[in-house]
Amino acid sequence: MNFQVPIAAIGDHPAPAVKRTGRPLLAALALLVSGLVLLPILSIAYVALSGSGEDWPHLAANVLPRASVTTLQLLAMVAVATSAVGVATAWMVVSYDFPLRRTLSWALVLPLAVPSYLAAYAFGEFFHYSGPAQSLVRALFGFTSIRDYWFPDIRTTTGCAVVLSAVLYPYVYMTTRVVFLMQGRAMADVARTLGARPARVFWRILLPVARPAIVAGVALVMMETINDIGAAEYLGVRTLTFAVYQTWLARGSLEGGAQVALVMLAMVVALLAAEQAARRRQRFHGARATQMKSQPIRVRLSGGRGWIAASLVGLPVLVGFGIPAAVFGTYAWRRLEQFASPELAAAFVNSVVTATATALLTVAIALFLLDALRSTRSRGIGAAVRLASIGYAMPGGILGLGLLFALARFDNTLDAFLRAHLGLSTGLLLTGSAGAVVIACVIRFMALAESTMSAGLHKLPPNLDEAARCLGRTPLRATAGVLLPLLKPAILTALVLVFVDTVKELSATILLRPFGFSTLATQVYENASRGVPEEGAAGAVVIIATALVPVVLLSRALARDRDARL
């Protein structure tokens, strides 16, 4: 039975309110978590500003200008390409009805399952002189040598932008499609009844309404672009991320690498400021349930026009997901023995163990922060939760470098203290260990787990746990017995997403992993660095297959137009 009688109405006397205490222990622990997230940034700033500065003139004159220009060019091209593809495909599947529309509406998300470095390796092989693309050109036109024709070079800044755009446009597609369906649909329907054509509706109604969502999606794309190291290095594009590694490893300058990292961090802050400004201008108007379940009006495209539309909408899927899957699938089919190799098995175990530990720790910490915020409603804890969520905005290279400095200082300080007082030597406990990789991934993906579970938490009645406490439950028992069971879908989703992103993570893992410790991502990267990406085909297939599971689940949710309108 479902009683809707407010507690305060019983006996005409208000029920005693559950007192919210300050709970200083919760606040202290939340601030400790936030401090852990800020630790890499503080470490980089300390190293960059505490040195002699002798490398700065060389970096300012020779490294930063060229790397900054290349990075800005790459960001601009990726932003334009992903916004064009994401917005156009979202508009097509929302406004038109054509063959395979429902299938393509969720298939457009599939490129998210392909890490950018795998896409770069696949595109490099696909467009190589001996690859399928140039072989087809020579067969069709009778060319016998590369001197007989011109073919675009994928190993350029433009080529790198094409690769990154092919796998990152779904960020823009998803955010834009949601706005087109939920916020812009009613206005678009009114405009159509007044005689406006679909193109005019798009330019005058849908595009202005979706502009904040487009900016937010592009900001995510640009942060992923800054974070990339595998694709840029393989394609020979010298970005700021590459400059961090080159300055540190090739020149042996930790101080110089930290200074380049600070420049990158300034770019990230600028991107975050743009994204936050877009969110402040974004407003969604709630629709009635009957309106949300009504079928939107779509212009039907039949015959040749319909198949042309299906081909255009399906092209991003073919490029972003089809090419990597075909290239590595073909290589893996020719090298089935790789799936039984001890090296692949060890890399798979390392990836699974690291990703599992990261997922469990990240979700547990995010749950603690959300519970602390819900139970105290403290501004201080709210600020701590926001600080704990900035890790996702930090490029993996910066995060790994800053954490490496901090862990090395911690290990050396602890070893010196124990040597002086107990005569014991601990050596390096965290530096160069699998635990350091887990810590870095926890910091980086905290925002992912927090946002996923926060979305589920906001769907619950705000006083649900208070009702349980009125019935005699302690705060801990109210959380464990009431909230956690209701949050189970969101918790499982967060676990899966963090697990998959950790399996795909490359830049921080390269810096922090111990010697002889390989994951699926680093194994594929090592083979590609030696010029033989086909030797890592089995690992690439396993990564794509692992990432495909949550992407397919997300895609199916997007396909439920009738029920969810997403």
- Count of structural domains within the chain: 1
Angular region, 18: left φ>0, alpha ψ -120 to 50, beta rest: beta
Task: Output DSSP code: residue 204.
Answer: I
Please report whether residue 33 resides in a domain.
Answer: no
Which CATH number characterizes residue 237's domain?
1.10.3720.10
Query: Distance (Å, rounded) from C-alpha 159 to C-alpha 163?
Result: 6
The 3-state DSSP class for residue 359 equals helix
Query: Widest CA span of the chain, in angstroms?
Result: 94
Please report whether residue 418 resides in a domain.
Answer: no
Please report whether residue 309 resides in a domain.
Answer: yes
Q: Residues for the chain: how many in total?
A: 566
Between the alpha carbon of residue 321 and those of residues 90, 102, 109, 120, the distances in Å are: 18, 18, 9, 12
Both tokens assigned to 164 = 């990154």
CB count within 10 Å of CB 148 equals 11
**253: exposed, middle or buried (C-beta count within 10 Å: 0-12, 13-18, 19+)?**
buried
Query: Distance (Å, rounded) from C-alpha 392 to C-alpha 307?
Result: 40
Q: Which domain holds residue 104?
A: 52-112+157-283+305-332
Task: Output DSSP code: residue 311.
Answer: H
Please report whether residue 150 resides in a domain.
Answer: no
Extract the runs of DSSP E, i.e. beta strands, from 497-538.
none
Per-residue pLDDT, 458 = 61
Condensed to tens digits (0 to 9), the pLDDT of residues 160-200 reads 999 999 999 988 888 788 777 765 555 666 665 656 666 67
Query: Distance (Å, rounded) from C-alpha 63 to C-alpha 75?
Result: 18
Q: What is the rounded average pLDDT of the residues 426-433? A: 76
Residue 299: its H or E element: strand 299-300
Please report whether residue 19 resides in a domain.
Answer: no
Please report whether residue 316 resides in a domain.
Answer: yes
Q: Which residue has the higher pLDDT, 249 or 471?
A: 249
Helices (H), 131-206: 132-141, 157-182, 185-193, 198-201
* Whether pLDDT at 82 is above 80: yes
Please report whether residue 81 resides in a domain.
Answer: yes
Q: Which residues contact 253 (CB under 8 A, 6 or more apart)?
A: 55, 247
Q: Which residue has the higher pLDDT, 23 or 539?
A: 539
Query: Distance (Å, rounded) from C-alpha 255 to C-alpha 54?
Result: 9
Per-residue pLDDT, 559 = 54
Q: What is the rounded average pLDDT of the residues 285-313? A: 69
Q: Which residues contact 455 (CB under 8 A, 6 or more apart)?
A: 490
Both tokens assigned to 421 = 């007082």
Please report whether residue 535 resides in a domain.
Answer: no
Condensed to tens digits (0 to 9), the pLDDT of residues 198-217 reads 667 677 667 777 777 788 77
